[in-house]
Amino acid sequence: MFSPQFRARRIRGNETFRRMVRETSVSANDLVYPMFSAFGSGIKKEISSMPGIYQQSIEHIVAEAKEVKALGIPAVLLFGIPVRKDSVGSDAYSDTGIIQETVRAIKNEVPGLAVITDVCLCEYTDHGHCGIIKNGDVDNDSTLKLLAREALSHVQAGADMVAPSDMMDGRVGAIREILDENGYDAIPIMSYAVKYASGYYGPFREAAESTPQFGDRRGYQMDPGNRREALREAAADIEEGADIIMVKPGLPYLDILRDLRNEFNLPLAVYNVSGEYSMVKGAAERGWIDEERVVMETMTAFKRAGADIVITYHAKDVARWLAN
């Protein structure tokens, strides 16, 4: 009778040995937790399509930030819901804007927690697009000036890192230049370098109240069918001064994540976006899947594909599961 020389089950059959030879692991240190801050007080409004995620006023944001830090998660990523919107997204770069005030509160009350801010205009414009509208389309170069102002205002408020998500050409260079000119050359930029025009963003648009009032964002976000273009986008952002590059969404683009890992040596982030989160939550609530097992398998997939940083709404749960 044939007897195989290689028996993988010798190792697999023992839990201790499985842990010892595991090639990919997940740590709370890998995680960033996204949060949605809203003007006012006493606000804690659950997002209907994202169970467990809230629009919150600053005092609740601070309380949750303390919880995040206690769980060993090193950073949060902030999005803002302004008190008013206009055609040029004025609140995005106001010294008293929602993000600026939230950053100050967290840095004052939760020392040691890194604060990353999303830099874009879509949450702040009355038309819901990521920049200045001219002739029915987003004007790239005039938008760059406002994105640079926004990033500078976030850093002046105390942000530890800025993360431009708008997908305007040249925005990393514009932000790097204004930060350096104002003495913030030590502040890193995490660029949404490879951001696809995805159907997985639906729940986020409810959370951030950022649905475009006309058209869509395919004119500036990447076509889901393009792979080689991702390398060009990432290379351009690196040349302009990005310190970390990101792929968004996560699960449908694991091949892109691996392509970037193979090509570049910079730290690499992935955004486990709202639609991915909501599908897991919905299936788990119906008893169709084991939530912990599926989420941890997803986190492992991101790390195995090459991510150093995982931005995820599951972050608090993941940190708790890892601690048990």
Q: Write the CATH number for 149.
A: 3.20.20.70
Residue 212: pLDDT band (50, 70, 90) is low
pLDDT tens column, 10-47: 899 999 999 999 999 999 999 999 999 999 999 999 99
pLDDT tens column, 293-319: 999 999 999 999 999 999 999 999 999
Residue 210: pLDDT band (50, 70, 90) is low
CB count within 10 Å of CB 8 equals: 8
Which member of 85, 195, 303, 316 is catalytic? 195
Q: Is residue 271 part of a domain?
A: yes
Q: Is residue 260 part of a domain?
A: yes
Q: Is residue 254 part of a domain?
A: yes
Which member of 69, 107, 248, 303 is catalytic? 248
CA nearest neighbour of 316 among 66, 116, 25, 104: 66
Q: Domain containing 160: what range?
A: 24-323
Q: Is residue 5 part of a domain?
A: no
Q: Is residue 13 part of a domain?
A: no
Instruction: Note the residue count of the chain.
Output: 324
pTM over 0.85: yes
- Asked whether residue 214 carries a pLDDT value surpassing 60, the answer given is no
CB 36 within 8 A of CB 55: yes
DSSP 302-313: HHHHT-SEEEET
The question of whether 195 is a catalytic residue gets the answer yes
Q: Is residue 3 part of a domain?
A: no
CB 91 within 8 A of CB 84: yes
Q: Are β-strands 54-56 and 268-272 bridged in parallel, bridged antiparallel, or unpaired?
A: unpaired
Q: Is residue 4 part of a domain?
A: no
The question of whether 303 is a catalytic residue gets the answer no
| 206 CB burial (10 A radius; 0-12, 13-18, 19+) | middle
For the chain, percent of residues with pLDDT exceeding 90: 77
Number of domains in the chain: 1
CB 232 within 8 A of CB 240: no
Q: Is residue 19 part of a domain?
A: no
Q: How far apart are CA 297 and CA 285, in angstroms?
A: 18
In the three-class reduction of DSSP (H, G, I as helix; E, B as strand; rest coil), residue 4 is classed as coil
